[in-house]
Structure 1
Amino acid sequence: MTETKPFISVALCTHNHLDRLVRTLADLASLHAPVRPWEFLVIDNGCTDGTSEMLATRDWALQGAQIRVVREDRLGLSNARNRALREARGEYLVFMDDDETPEPGWLQALEDAMIAHAPDALGGRIAVMFEDGARPPWLQDELLGFLGKLDHGEACWLTSEETPIFGGNFAFRREVFERIGDFDARLGRMGAINTGGEDTEIHRRLLAHGCRVRWVPAAVINHRIQTPKLQRHYFLDLHFRQGRWQGARKRGGGSRMPPKYLAPQMLRAFGRAIAKRLSEGADHSLRLEMNAAYFTGYVFGWVRDVA
């Protein structure tokens, strides 16, 4: 018997996070199913930790959803998401991560917005859940966005690059990728490499192509934060790598000699970070240290990397 074509495809991309994935799949059992048919698509991104074997048991299968597991051996979150674009059959494609716990009404809220507004893309609210320990004192509120926290307030249309949607809780009309192109495979996590930026980059492309992006605050996902991310090095490394990519992209095929304006900018960034740390202590200086790490990576990428 032929299965009914789904209206929504939910894609979860995972790489070697078996323990996190087991928790996420268990939490999804509390999800309120959408009214229209839906499918749940798991992209096994080159897993070698027992994830593939666990998924093959289908003991975790969600009630009411059409279930498929697809393996993508090209490592990288963007490669996995692009594979989901090829595999999904729904009119809308919803992405989530393997370390998240949606609120029970999450998917229904997205479906309601899809039906009511027919947007090209949607984003939902992301809350931060400290799973493995207490929040460290240096983790100021201004840094929570780098752990995925996102809240743009009341429901609205998003029309600015300053109000992006994040990969832990966004959705797209599947046909929109024919207009804007796929996820940039150079961006996003790649195994243990701490790289991001693929979600804000595709948000910029959505706006540049005149796409309608809807903010759906009732669609809430909780991002579970593990101990490895509760280290200063995580934030500094993330910004260094982002700077490397930006520097290489900006240089393009030009000279590897960095432009003169970078030196004073970099020095100012380091000066502000040092001054903040000396005056207020390490618990208040990380944001400025991240700026310095970004400029360091920018120069490094300009000189060393290929765009």
Structure 2
Amino acid sequence: MSLNVVLSVVVCTHNRADDALECLRVLHEQIDYATSEVILVDSASSPVQQQHLQSGVADLERPVYVRLEEAGLSLARNSGLAQCKGEWIAFVDDDAVPDPNWYEKLLLVLRKAPGDWGAIGGRIVPIFPVSGSPNLEPRWKRYLSINDTVGSRDCTAKFELIAANSCFRRAALDAVSGFPTELGRSKASLLSGEDVLVMWRIRRLGWKIWYDGSFCVGHKIPRERLTKRWVRARAYWEGISAIRMARLLDDRVRVGFVLKAALATPVLAVLSILMPKGNEWDLRFWYDLGVVIESFGFGPKSSGA
């Protein structure tokens, strides 16, 4: 590892070249390449998208381009991690737009970070495709990777970090072998939880997790993610992700967790009929349904199913 590289910024993308290059250009205007680096991981984008990415990266000159022939978010993050030279690794989603002072603010946080901080989550504000802010339930906002709270606080006990705008100490990620490829978006599924599993694992090793709202990104929200059909599917996959994560953690409390979901599902099913779609009760029903189906072996056989 090069001692003079403090921060490595990794952007992973799959078939969103325009968004990824916008993110890269905003970062490029801020980054001091004497102490930091930017790595774009192309996660098996189509040939047309690949060419667009390569051309855009070549125009900027300094970012590093990495091409993968197999898609998968965790795989892409791990590939980016393998290329990094920094003590800290920041991950920014390809559809995120960092604030103009994102880099400066993050470096200020890193300079004061104690040696036991393993991860730091930043603020994420939505960029909606329509004028005004739609009235979304808290669970719906969470599924959109929105965390627009301000301030700075220890969130080791209750995670607030969202990987769309996050920074991990390299030593902490190495200690848990990076992101689990059994979780994370792949193909057409909405499987998630890879960042949460990493936090569980580094917490068990004694690392602390912090939230700091000073370094912020805007996160583009596609129009389809404001539909009730999408958010119900997202809640269902969140339940599947929770059980797969518990298995990987060998979590013994899973039995009680599943039993609670099984008992609640019939009641929530009634409430989901009576309440508007996308309501908290409705989304809790779809989440618990995913928990139950996956627990009893009826879930999809792979993340891409």
Fold match by TM threshold 0.5: yes
Q: Equivalent residue for 1:130? A: 128
Structure 1: distance between partners of 2:57 and 2:260: 58
Structure 2: distance between partners of 1:248 and 1:93: 26
Q: Equivalent residue for 1:289? A: 282
CA offsets, 1:254-281, max 9 Å, x none?
xxxxx77654321122133234x1xxxx
Which of 164, 167, 175 is residue 179 of structure 1 equivalent to? Answer: 175
Structure 1: distance between partners of 2:19 and 2:150: 29
Contact 2:192 2:241 in 1 (8 A): no
Determine if the alignment matches structure 1 residue 24 to structure 2 residue 23: yes
Contact 1:125 1:218 in 2 (8 A): yes
Structure 2: distance between partners of 1:204 and 1:109: 26
Contact 2:184 2:192 in 1 (8 A): yes
Deviation at 1:142, TM superposition (A): 4.9
Q: Equivalent residue for 1:144? A: 141
**After superposition, where does 1:1-307 map in structure 2 within 5 Å?**
5-29=4-28, 31-34=29-32, 37-48=35-46, 50-58=48-56, 61-62=59-60, 66-118=62-114, 119-131=117-129, 135-137=133-135, 139-160=136-157, 162-247=158-243, 262-275=261-274, 277=275, 282=276, 286-301=279-294, 302-305=296-299
Compared CA separation, residues 172 and 58, structure 1 to 2 (3 A): same
Q: Equivalent residue for 2:254? A: none
TM-score, length of structure 1 as denominator length: 0.83
CA offsets, 1:106-136, max 9 Å, x none?
1111111112224322111111110356554
- In structure 1, the gaps of 5 or more residues are 254-258
Give the aligned residue type for 1:95. Answer: F
Structure 2: distance between partners of 1:262 and 1:215: 30
What RMSD, in angstroms, separates the aligned Cα atoms of the two structures? 2.9
Deviation at 1:146, TM superposition (A): 1.6
Compared CA separation, residues 249 and 207, structure 1 to 2 (3 A): closer
Compared CA separation, residues 32 and 19, structure 1 to 2 (3 A): closer
Structure 2: distance between partners of 1:80 and 1:235: 25
TM-score, length of structure 2 as denominator length: 0.84
Structure 2: distance between partners of 1:23 and 1:33: 14
Structure 1: distance between partners of 2:228 and 2:262: 25
Structure 2: distance between partners of 1:251 and 1:220: 33
Structure 1: distance between partners of 2:190 and 2:52: 26
- In structure 2, the gaps of 5 or more residues are 251-257
Compared CA separation, residues 59 and 166, structure 1 to 2 (3 A): closer
Deviation at 1:88, TM superposition (A): 0.8
Q: Equivalent residue for 2:255? A: none
Q: Equivalent residue for 1:256? A: none
Rg: which structure is higher?
1
Contact 1:15 1:191 in 2 (8 A): no
Structure 2: distance between partners of 1:131 and 1:36: 37
Contact 1:102 1:220 in 2 (8 A): yes
Structure 2: distance between partners of 1:50 and 1:24: 19
Structure 2: distance between partners of 1:251 and 1:116: 36
